Chains A and B, each alone.
Chain A
């Protein structure tokens, strides 16, 4: 790919990103508020159920922080992941009109959708962290660059998965529905509402295979306890994400030659 082409792709990407952000959030009633409001409502519901009804008291390792900050810190990264994956899944099918009329690199559509969700939820995340700080939780702001690195790994991981699902969605239209169920399953099997220590020993090794668990835990440890993530974990996560991206790229490009035929 020449530099000129890269430049063109970058312009295109930027434009689609703007378009996406405007279309999904800024044009609707309430604007950017929705990015905050919807996750906050969910946060409130979960907190009510877990704190007031189920009376969750212990959070091994995070006893000092309390349930709401514990949940909130991992909740937004989860939204970045799940939201961009479900949007990314439809990136190709929902842009059918565009694909049929203009020659453009299709992967840009996926990347711009995923990026739009990440950017918006990142904005929401920063606001939430600020709110937590104001309400008395100690947020280790010095760790923010590390958290951003972790989120970058999450982004690569998500984009890779989005390449897989968006290409598959063109051929198998039921995937979007299946994905909703799968994301739900993943939400409850990732230590977001609970800690890994609470899982019975015989299941724990399976939970540790979940890459999301490592990202969420690392982010929590950074922000809430100021603890650096283990270098080996970081390296393994990065390698996994990059490998997955390469595989996703291959899969997507292989299938993209026949998108138009099946759209």
Chain B
């Protein structure tokens, strides 16, 4: 299969332009194709191949070069070095309201934005009903100028256009996070259908939930370089671990007898918030939350323990249904007893999530590193009962 996008050793420099002299020099350098030394490298030697049907996320901190990379692939930016080969129709939602004119109505903007993607006038007219239906905006709203739209409405308009274009490659940059919950769901369902019908996705997102739900692979950028690339879950975990470390929240002298878990990540609206989560001295992970949060049939808790290298040590599932549906309206507490005495000294990660019936992530409960202190002459993660006997 020919790849949809191929990047070979692509680098991008941005000029440090402050004075008129810099700009004039920039002009001369560009004209003579000589190297401009007054620059800042934002992407450094990135190579990447995207096959048709692939879905990839780009993660990293702010300023890591994620958006620049997307812009390069979308053809909005030109690389300083290296080559980009791109086949097929690329539709990119790089920012909110991309290509929209604030003074024009929603309808007019849809028409002119579609033409920017090379859709003919007749084409637009036949696509319009679908676009409008997907956006969920009513006629009065569509006849208002786009400047009166909320950011959510702009996202609706933009994404609806993308759905109608049926691109070979869809690029989105943090746009899913703007719409309301029902529209986000609609978009995700659409992207899933799009992917299953052979579409290709490249997205930047800070939502682990979206990435793990939509992407097979992920690339982690840091200061313009690829730090890790591969399976979406593994890369996200590694990224997550590092960002926790950077905030100094973990790994520093946490005793395994009193693992302090801070506020859990509870990023889904189905349940509002977790009000208490802690592990007591006897290694019980205790989570309690108010009664009005409903756990649906078919949901389950999943607990996993990972070693330092990202290797799964243990995965335990618990059906939420049996345990919690009895007392739906009362505050309930979940206790899980964990004995880490079989773990060898070292660093580990515990993560606990709630999954729905299709294995979609409902909520991140816990994602924490911890340390088992001590010394051991054995290597690995687990202590296995053994005896030495010479005969």
Chain A residues proximal to chain B, CB less than 8 Å: 7-8, 11-12, 14-15, 19, 97-104, 168, 171-174, 251, 254-255, 257-258, 260-262
Are A102's CB and B116's CB within 8 A? yes
Q: Decide if B77 is an interface residue (CB 8 Å cutoff).
A: yes
Most A CB within 10 A of own CB, among B75, B116, B120: B116
Q: 5 closest pairs, A vs B, by CB? A: A103-B75, A101-B98, A8-B118, A15-B115, A171-B27
Are A172's CB and B27's CB within 8 A? yes
What is the bound-complex CA distance between A168 and B20, given in angstroms?
13
Chain B neighbourhood of A11, CB < 8 A: 115, 118-121
CB distance from B317 to the nearest CB of A (A): 44
Are A172's CB and B76's CB within 8 A? no
Chain A neighbourhood of B76, CB < 8 A: 99-103, 260
Are A172's CB and B115's CB within 8 A? no
Chain B residues proximal to chain A, CB less than 8 Å: 13-15, 17, 20, 23-24, 26-27, 30-31, 33, 71, 74-78, 90, 92, 94-95, 98-99, 101, 112-113, 115-121
Are A171's CB and B115's CB within 8 A? no
With A102-B98, A255-B31 as given contacts, are A260 and B78 in contact (CB-CB < 8 Å)?
yes
Are B23's CB and A171's CB within 8 A? yes
Which of A14, A103, A174, A255 touches B30 (beta carbons < 8 Å)? A255
Are A261's CB and B99's CB within 8 A? no
What is the bound-complex CA distance between A155 and B121, given in angstroms?
27
What is the bound-complex CA distance between A105 and B120, given in angstroms?
17
Are B26's CB and A12's CB within 8 A? no
Which of B31, B99, B115 touches A101 (beta carbons < 8 Å)? B99
Are B23's CB and A262's CB within 8 A? yes
Residue of A nearest to B90 (CB): A103
Are B24's CB and A12's CB within 8 A? no
Which of A103, A254, A260 touches B92 (beta carbons < 8 Å)? A103
Most B CB within 10 A of own CB, among A12, A15, A104: A15
With A99-B76, A103-B90 as given contacts, are A12 and B115 in contact (CB-CB < 8 Å)?
yes
CB distance from A75 to the nearest CB of B (A): 31
What is the bound-complex CA distance between A257 and B98, given in angstroms?
20
Which of A7, A100, A168, A257 touches B27 (beta carbons < 8 Å)? A168
Are B77's CB and A171's CB within 8 A? no
What is the bound-complex CA distance between A173 and B14, given in angstroms?
18
Chain B neighbourhood of A172, CB < 8 A: 20, 23-24, 27
Are A12's CB and B118's CB within 8 A? yes
Other A-B contacts than A103-B76, A171-B27, 11 sampled, CB-CB below 8 A, are A14-B115, A19-B112, A97-B99, A101-B94, A101-B99, A102-B117, A171-B26, A251-B31, A257-B78, A258-B26, A261-B26
With A101-B98, A257-B78, A260-B78 as given contacts, are A15 and B30 in contact (CB-CB < 8 Å)?
no
What is the bound-complex CA distance between A27 and B27, given in angstroms?
36
What is the bound-complex CA distance between A106 and B14, given in angstroms?
20
Chain A neighbourhood of B121, CB < 8 A: 11
B contacts with A: majority SS: mixed
Residue of B nearest to A171 (CB): B27
Residue of A nearest to B29 (CB): A258
With A101-B95, A171-B23, A255-B30 as given contacts, are A260 and B77 in contact (CB-CB < 8 Å)?
yes
Chain A neighbourhood of B99, CB < 8 A: 97-98, 101-102
CB distance from B173 to the nearest CB of A (A): 10
Which of B27, B71, B112 touches A255 (beta carbons < 8 Å)? B27
Chain B neighbourhood of A254, CB < 8 A: 30-31, 33
Chain A neighbourhood of B120, CB < 8 A: 11
25 contacts between A and B (CB under 8 A): A7-B118, A11-B118, A15-B115, A19-B112, A100-B76, A100-B95, A101-B95, A101-B98, A102-B76, A102-B92, A102-B116, A103-B76, A104-B116, A168-B27, A171-B26, A172-B24, A172-B27, A255-B30, A257-B30, A257-B78, A258-B26, A258-B78, A261-B26, A262-B15, A262-B17
What is the bound-complex CA distance between A132 and B113, given in angstroms?
42
What is the bound-complex CA distance between A100 and B98, given in angstroms?
8
Chain A neighbourhood of B33, CB < 8 A: 254
CB distance from A19 to the nearest CB of B (A): 6
What is the bound-complex CA distance between A57 and B20, given in angstroms?
49
With A15-B112, A172-B27 as given contacts, are A261 and B15 in contact (CB-CB < 8 Å)?
yes
CB distance from A23 to the nearest CB of B (A): 8
Residue of A nearest to B86 (CB): A103
Are A15's CB and B116's CB within 8 A? yes
What is the bound-complex CA distance between A11 and B115, given in angstroms?
7
Chain A neighbourhood of B77, CB < 8 A: 260-261
Chain B neighbourhood of A97, CB < 8 A: 99
What is the bound-complex CA distance between A260 and B79, given in angstroms?
11
What is the bound-complex CA distance between A104 and B99, given in angstroms?
11
Chain B neighbourhood of A14, CB < 8 A: 115
Chain A neighbourhood of B78, CB < 8 A: 257-258, 260
CB distance from A22 to the nearest CB of B (A): 9
What is the bound-complex CA distance between A12 and B31, given in angstroms?
27
What is the bound-complex CA distance between A260 and B13, given in angstroms?
11
Residue of A nearest to B116 (CB): A102
What is the bound-complex CA distance between A257 and B80, given in angstroms?
9
Chain A neighbourhood of B24, CB < 8 A: 171-172
What is the bound-complex CA distance between A261 and B31, given in angstroms?
14
What is the bound-complex CA distance between A7 and B123, given in angstroms?
14
With A171-B24, A255-B31, A258-B30 as given contacts, are A103 and B74 in contact (CB-CB < 8 Å)?
yes
What is the bound-complex CA distance between A255 and B24, given in angstroms?
12
What is the bound-complex CA distance between A263 and B198, given in angstroms?
36
Most B CB within 10 A of own CB, among A98, A172, A173, A255: A98
What is the bound-complex CA distance between A52 and B99, given in angstroms?
51
Chain A neighbourhood of B117, CB < 8 A: 102
What is the bound-complex CA distance between A101 and B92, given in angstroms?
8
What is the bound-complex CA distance between A255 and B31, given in angstroms?
6
